[in-house]
Amino acid sequence: MDTSPLAPGLYIVATPIGNLGDMTRRATDTLGRCDLVACEDTRVTGKLLNLLGLHKPMRRYDDHASDGAREALLAEMAIKAVALVSDAGTPLISDPGYKLVREARARGVTVTSLPGASAVVTALSMAGLPTDRFLFAGFLPNKEKARGDVLTELSGVPATLAFYETGPRLVASLEAIAERLPRREVAVARELTKLHEECRTGSAAELATYYSAQPPKGEIVLLIAPPGESEAPDDDVIDAELRAALTEMSTSQAAGKVAKAHGLDRKALYARAMALKQ
Ligand code: SAM
């Protein structure tokens, strides 16, 4: 292993999402040669460094850190090699680092990214859903209404939709998908790269029934196939969305919102909304 010091700068280092074998040689090398490791949780990263047989100074960092703490780290990058890692996977992907990278680049600091594991790409490459276009949207909101609004907003996007999910929330999310996107194929990719890895596909309703009976443990990526060529949403789904929208906005706005979400004709939906109002 190369043990020479690294040039000053910021090194974005991906770490495994559950299987230590996915730590790349270059990532290990960089953690061994850097001067400082910035991380979300020093206990989690401390364990990883121990497993790799490395001893490095660590500094807790996330995007909620004070401006002063970020400034201090940025100042160090001018003279030291600073590695940024998250608890697992690729930093900045639903993890801290965006503000740090943006600021570092603005100041002319050299930013190097070391690719490695990321749950979203791992799930996409094994699920058998289209991968030519995908839209990663992080975690769905916790609250029912906000979650429904996001699904409606994204329902017309011609791409596989990818979300991060947790066991306790999975069934509620699947039920929300079943209500709004009943005909889409869905994949639940769970415990990726770990002993109990599974990837189960079906309609959202089928998967909700399955996981209600066996509450899922562990970490999850949820994928939703793009709208099919001939897929038109059920009339009652459209009516339910129009009714919900009419409680918050004018008829014209409600028709526009639902038409945009499903790629449907706005005038036809306006007429339908008027009929629903009577
Ligand atoms: N930065 C990470 C990445 O690149 O994948 C993601 C961090 S995000 C805070 C954590 C979420 O990623 C989990 O709630 C889960 O949705 C997903 N995730 C992480 N590891 C996973 C795994 N082994 N299997 C399935 N999903 C995983």
Question: Mind listing the pLDDT tens digit for each residue in 150-171?
Answer: 999 999 999 999 999 999 999 9
Atom of ligand 1 nearest to the CA of 14: 4
Question: In this structure, are 240 and 171 located in the same domain?
Answer: no
* Ligand 1 center to 119 CA (angstroms): 5
Question: In this structure, are 166 and 110 located in the same domain?
Answer: no
Question: In this structure, are 103 and 193 located in the same domain?
Answer: no
Question: In this structure, are 260 and 193 located in the same domain?
Answer: no
| Span 69-98, pLDDT tens digits | 999 999 999 999 999 999 999 999 999 999
Residue nearest (by alpha carbon) to ligand 1 atom 23: 192
> What residue has token string 């709004």?
180
* Residue 38 belongs to a domain: yes
* Domains: count for the chain: 3
Q: What is the per-residue DSSP string for 118-162? A: -HHHHHHHHH-S--SSEEEEEEPPSSHHHHHHHHHHHTT-SSEEE
Domain final residue, candidates 215, 230, 245 = 230
Question: In this structure, are 100 and 168 located in the same domain?
Answer: no
Return the pLDDT at 262: 65
* Residue 1 belongs to a domain: no
* Residue 269 belongs to a domain: yes
Q: Which of 177, 201, 62 is nearest to 124 (CA)?
A: 201
User: By residue range, what is the domain housing residue 242?
Assistant: 233-277
* Residue 97 belongs to a domain: yes
* Ligand 1 center to 164 CA (angstroms): 6
* Ligand 1 center to 168 CA (angstroms): 15
Return the pLDDT at 45: 98
Atom of ligand 1 nearest to the CA of 86: 1
Question: In this structure, are 220 and 255 located in the same domain?
Answer: no
Rounded Cα distance between 256 and 266, Å, is: 6
> Given a cut of 90, is residue 264 above it in pLDDT?
no
**In this structure, what token pair is assigned to residue 264?**
């449907």
pTM: 0.84
Question: In this structure, are 23 and 112 located in the same domain?
Answer: yes
Rounded Cα distance between 172 and 206, Å, is: 13
Question: In this structure, are 219 and 246 located in the same domain?
Answer: no
CATH no. for residue 156?
3.30.950.10
Residues with CB under 6 A from ligand 1: 17-18, 86, 88-90, 93-95, 118-120, 164-166, 189-194, 219-221
Question: In this structure, are 273 and 242 located in the same domain?
Answer: yes
Return the pLDDT at 265: 66
Domain final residue, candidates 117, 149, 178 = 117
Question: In this structure, are 57 and 95 located in the same domain?
Answer: yes
* Ligand 1 center to 163 CA (angstroms): 10
Question: In this structure, are 203 and 173 located in the same domain?
Answer: yes
| Span 53-65, pLDDT tens digits | 999 999 999 989 9
Rounded Cα distance between 11 and 159, Å, is: 31
Residue whose CB lies within 8 A of the most ligand 1 atoms, among 17, 161, 173, 194, for a mutation test: 17
- At 134, give phi and psi (nearest 5°): -145, 155
* Residue 4 belongs to a domain: no
* Residue 261 belongs to a domain: yes
